[in-house]
Amino acid sequence: MAETAILALGGNALIREDQRGTLEEQYDNALAMAHSVRSLVRKGWNVVIVHGNGPQVGNLAIQHEGSTDLVPALPLFTLSAMTQGQLGSLICLALHEVCRRDMAGAVSIVTHIEIDPDDPALSQPTKPIGPFFDRAEAQALESRRGWTMAEDSGRGYRRVVPSPRPIVPVEAEAISALVALGHIVVAGGGGGIAVARSTDGAYRGIDAVIDKDYVAERIADFLDARALIMVTGVAAVCLDYGTPAERSVAEMTASVARRHLADGQFPAGSMGPKVEAAIEFVEVASEAASGVGSKADTGNELLDAAGRISVITTPELVYATLEEPAGVIEGPSGTRIVADPA
């Protein structure tokens, strides 16, 4: 039986730092992702893609704010829904171009994510979205638009919005059914549309952007996935990033990754959620490694020995990082996060 890999594709992987974000640029980046997906599908994996939308939803918000004299501005959760359609279409078209002979189909699901309406994160904006600004521009935006702006990893200032933790995807059963049919599924786009249950039991949209890495982990748990792959704009996780001591990490156990996280190595607005989601995902692997809740044989001794595995890397290095242990192949590879030995 095929195992499932959840591929969390960062919004910055579709619009890279040196790009303006044109449709052509984003499609070329989606094609690179599609080639990675094809490698996994040919190896026998089911694949679910969860994409970010930080740059895209921020850009869309600016477009809406700039045209309020012509059309009404829409709330942030509606902009998230719009980017799900935009990027879901882009990714599916790239998959059809690259993987058409290797897949049953590619389907994008507009996904709602239930959150706790009392989550304290709703009153503490931390999630960066949109383009970078210098200090003067950021101060002007705070004054003119009432946005909360924050410095982002030494690269400039960005708008930050609330980012609550996800509870469950509303469309989880539909995602599972499509995976069972062999489709590549695009779901939880942009971290999904944040919704909370009202007193009458109905869902209501919440103005927030849920981190797509946490959503990917929730979907991975629901589907009992074997691998959580977080695709970003850097080849590997680095320690002491931006300093003369900067160095990449090929592999970490969950406990080592958690210690570096506690030491502040991975900022909350960038690498932090990826590492935290990776830790949460692989920690159950300790049970599998000790024979509790054992998995079916996948033919991949590396994965069978360690249970679940998380990968953080660029689209081009996904296959090599997931399928080969550190040091086996020559050339660059990404970062693997694995469970501690039982």
CB atoms within 10 A of CB 90: 21
> pLDDT (tens digit, 9 = 90+) per residue, 272-286?
999 999 999 998 654
Query: What's the pLDDT score for residue 328?
Result: 46
Q: Could you tell me if 130 and 60 lie in one domain?
A: yes
CA 1 to chain centre: 26
Assess contact for 17 and 237: CB atoms under 8 A. Answer: no
Q: Could you tell me if 183 and 306 lie in one domain?
A: no
pLDDT higher than threshold 70 for residue 131: yes
Q: Could you tell me if 278 and 200 lie in one domain?
A: no
Q: Could you tell me if 199 and 280 lie in one domain?
A: no
Q: Could you tell me if 69 and 197 lie in one domain?
A: yes
pLDDT higher than threshold 80 for residue 223: yes
Is 144 inside any structural domain? yes
205 has catalytic annotation: no
Question: Which two tokens mark 123?
Answer: 């009153």
Is 9 inside any structural domain? no
Candidates 46, 58, 127, 190; catalytic one: 127
Which amino acid does the sequence have at 188? G
Average pLDDT for 288-293? 43
Query: What's the pLDDT score for residue 20?
Result: 82
Q: Could you tell me if 322 and 203 lie in one domain?
A: no
Work out how many domains the chain is built from and give that number.
2
Average pLDDT for 121-138? 87
Among 20-24, 51-55, 111-115, 302-306, where is mean pLDDT lowest? 302-306
Query: What's the pLDDT score for residue 54?
Result: 78
Query: What's the pLDDT score for residue 331?
Result: 57
pLDDT band at residue 341 under the 50/70/90 scheme: confident
pLDDT higher than threshold 80 for residue 231: yes
Where in the sequence is the domain holding 277, given as residue range(s)?
A: 271-342
Q: Could you tell me if 67 and 156 lie in one domain?
A: yes
Query: What's the pLDDT score for residue 56?
Result: 83
Candidates 29, 191, 212, 307; catalytic one: 212
Q: Could you tell me if 205 and 300 lie in one domain?
A: no
CB atoms within 10 A of CB 141: 20
Is 48 inside any structural domain? no
Q: Could you tell me if 189 and 309 lie in one domain?
A: no
pLDDT higher than threshold 90 for residue 70: no
CB atoms within 10 A of CB 232: 23
Element housing 220 (H / E): helix 212-222
pLDDT higher than threshold 80 for residue 297: no
The mean pLDDT value of the chain amounts to 86
For the purposes of burial, counting CB atoms within 10 Å of the CB of 226, is it exposed (0-12), middle (13-18) or buried (19 or more)? buried
291 has catalytic annotation: no
Is 264 inside any structural domain? no
Q: Could you tell me if 172 and 296 lie in one domain?
A: no
127 has catalytic annotation: yes
Query: What's the pLDDT score for residue 315?
Result: 84
Is 42 inside any structural domain? no
212 has catalytic annotation: yes
Query: What's the pLDDT score for residue 335?
Result: 95
Query: What's the pLDDT score for residue 270?
Result: 78
Query: What's the pLDDT score for residue 185?
Result: 98
Is 173 inside any structural domain? yes
11 has catalytic annotation: yes
Name the percent of the chain in helix, strand, coil, to the closest 5.
Answer: 40, 20, 40
pLDDT higher than threshold 70 for residue 327: no
Average pLDDT for 212-217? 94
Closest by alpha carbon to 184, among 42, 13, 10? 42
* Non-local CB neighbours of 27 within 8 Å, separated by 6+ positions: 90, 93, 94
- Residue 150 sits in a domain of what CATH number? 3.40.1160.10
Question: Which two tokens mark 31?
Answer: 């094609």
Assess contact for 223 and 4: CB atoms under 8 A. Answer: yes
The C-alpha atoms of residue 161 and residue 126 are separated, in whole angstroms, by 6
pLDDT: which is higher, 38 or 155 = 38
For the purposes of burial, counting CB atoms within 10 Å of the CB of 176, is it exposed (0-12), middle (13-18) or buried (19 or more)? middle
In terms of residues, how long is the chain? 342
pLDDT band at residue 325 under the 50/70/90 scheme: low
Average pLDDT for 239-264? 94
- Single out the residue in 168, 186, 211 at which a domain terminates: 211
Assess contact for 14 and 30: CB atoms under 8 A. Answer: yes
pLDDT band at residue 1 under the 50/70/90 scheme: low
Candidates 52, 58, 192, 274; catalytic one: 274
Which residues face 311 on adjacent strands?
229, 336
The two counts, helices (H) then strands (E), for the chain are 12, 17
- Single out the residue in 194, 211, 228 at which a domain terminates: 211
> pLDDT (tens digit, 9 = 90+) per residue, 164-177?
999 999 999 999 99
Q: Could you tell me if 280 and 179 lie in one domain?
A: no
- Single out the residue in 165, 183, 211 at which a domain terminates: 211
Is 157 inside any structural domain? yes
Average pLDDT for 148-177? 91
Is 291 inside any structural domain? yes
Query: What's the pLDDT score for residue 330?
Result: 54
